[in-house]
Structure 1
């Protein structure tokens, strides 16, 4: 009888090669999957190579995860799904919170490279030349989330198209005094790509004059920026780069006596559950952060198994709330 390979076992069982590898090395696999693999091994009299098994037994089943924060709604949703998917596959995530400190982010990449992790997942706020230098020299599988990076496997959100749809929505409602509350262009995804999509969508409907307010991602700082702006300006629409910024703007607009949407329309990005309980409910973009986390776990395991993978772009759902006036 022709000797069967682990790759063929995976194909016959309808699973990835990494799953078969975990089975032979004592890692967790679902009961139904285990039974299928065992049946195939019995049928083909398969015995794993003892030397190879000994080598593979040195797997740590640990993945390094670097995140800019653990208290943001976005990070929490990504990390929860990522953690669950890794643990179902027998892997444990080791988490480092950088608190948006770029130096800590870079040193964490190097620290993980010296530890016994099998791969690294980076939730990046920006990609600098130093990020690229370190990641390209690592001899570990690396996945970058939320930011584009040449030569790396990335999982990104469709920021441009989402921004364009919001811009079109506001433009077709015939707003004229539009303010965009955004973040620094150091953040390529939100600060550049999402912003450009918004501006192009507005331009498509004839709006070319837009006030831009720069803030960070925090609620407190964004409230201060909006409060100062409202002292000398009367916008009829505020487009906010995230739902957290939108909630900050919501608070300041309400405090200043503006009615939403009768006086000022308001939009965000993120699709936080809390935005549904605002009155009026927020018009926003809901990204599938849970899918982003699950996909990151699946791809890093495929990379560890030596299988080719491609970068992924995550889609979105347009949430038509009540915070944009309909004309």
Structure 2
């Protein structure tokens, strides 16, 4: 039989109201907290958070709005959020919007109706409708993966990562490069990574090289393309690119795109990396075990999730949080890039 609050109170030797206050994040003495935590751990007690929400003005539920679930970045960020929230006696409720902006707005309002404490929003873009919804609900919201001046944000340093991958491939002697990006509606992935890479190229060019002709005269042929986030879309796009351009290297805005590029290259008899070098962004687990292993920018998605959870809890509890939290990254050099 599942334990009740009354059972936990009796076993811990405290009142039901004290247990309820503890479960709802209220103030209890350190000694009492330890007693209750010991009983909760021993019994495996899980509070009925939804039932609590019917009585409480504020629940211990954090709503998390995600654009898609079939993503390494999203799933690992969610794992970090869940792990940290549980450690702070909060629970996570997920709304998947399948990359539909309208559903994102609906999810924000629906979470507010459920009296959740705060919202973590993983969105590809922030529209006026997002801002209106956030203002309407008057609930703390944390934006993850993108940055907006009106919302507390947690981001990866996409611009600097793009710059570093650009500087790295240029240092390896590559001058004929295809950059395969995504829609600029996604500011982090579609704009910041590309602009960081573009700046690295500018800094490497001889003075006075601004136009494509001047760049080619200096020995640089850099071309920019766009595809979708799915591996299948990237495979089709890469096949078309390779039919018209013979780059020595393809810089891909995500690891999924890089995997699609590698698949397209092999289907054309192009060997990685001797014929074509490839890089990605993300640091997905699979990039380490494929052959050749992928050179990529590795983002700490689980740690980002943990920090996001810490920040939203601080906002819920009216504590200070920096307007923008920037996560670090690592450039992982593997076998998919050859020297030229």
What is the TM-score of this pair, normalised by structure 1?
0.83
Shift of 1:98: 0.5
Please name the residue that 1:12 is paired with.
none
Shift of 1:326: 2.4
2: CA distance between counterparts of 1:209 and 1:139?
50
Where does the alignment leave 5 or more consecutive residues of structure 1 unmatched? Answer: 1-21, 40-55
Q: Structure 2 vs 1, CA of residues 280 and 23 (structure 1 numbering), >3 Å: closer, same or farther?
A: farther
- Which among 308, 311, 315 is matched to residue 328 of structure 2? 315
In the superposition, the TM-score normalised over structure 2's length comes to: 0.80
The CA distance in 2 between the partners of 1:23 and 1:260, in whole Å, is 60
Q: 2:239 aligns with which of 218, 227, 230?
A: 227
SS of match in other structure, 1:249: helix
Give the Cα–Cα distance (whole angstroms) in 2 for the partners of residues 160 and 93 of structure 1.
Answer: 30
Question: Runs (4+) of structure 1 moved beyond 3 Å?
Answer: 33-39, 56-59
Q: Secondary structure of 2:250's match?
A: strand
Gaps of 5+ in 2: 1-17, 36-54, 206-214
SS at match of 2:148: coil
- Describe the shift of the 1:316–1:36 C-alpha distance in structure 2 as closer, same or farther (beyond 3 A): farther
The 1:263/1:23 distance shift into structure 2, 3 A limit, reads: farther
Tell me what 1:182 maps to. 181
Say whether the 8 Å CA contact 1:67–1:98 is kept in structure 2: yes
Pairs within 5 Å for 1:51-200: 58-200=57-199
Deviations 1:53-108 (Å, cap 9, x if unpaired)?
A: xxx95432111110011111110100011111111211111110011111111111
Matched, 1:27 2:28: no
Query: Counterpart of 2:312?
Result: 300
Conserved? CA contact 1:170–1:202, under 8 Å = no
Q: Is the 8 A contact 2:24 2:59 kept in 1?
A: no
8 A contact 1:172–1:205 mirrored in 2: no
Q: CA deviation at 1:308?
A: 1.5
Query: For the Cα contact (< 8 Å) 2:181–2:224, is it kept in 1?
Result: yes
User: In 2, distance between residues paired with 1:23 and 1:280?
Assistant: 55
The 3 A distance-change label for structure 1 pair 228 and 300 is same
Q: Residue 6 of structure 1 corresponds to which residue in structure 2?
A: none
Q: Please state if 1:204 is matched with 2:207.
A: no
The structural deviation recorded for 1:38 is 7.2
| Counterpart residue number, 1:9 | none
CA distance in 1, matches of 2:112, 2:195: 35
Number of residue pairs the alignment of both structures matches: 287
What is the root-mean-square deviation of aligned Cα atoms in Å?
A: 2.1
Contact 1:25 1:57 in 2 (8 A): no
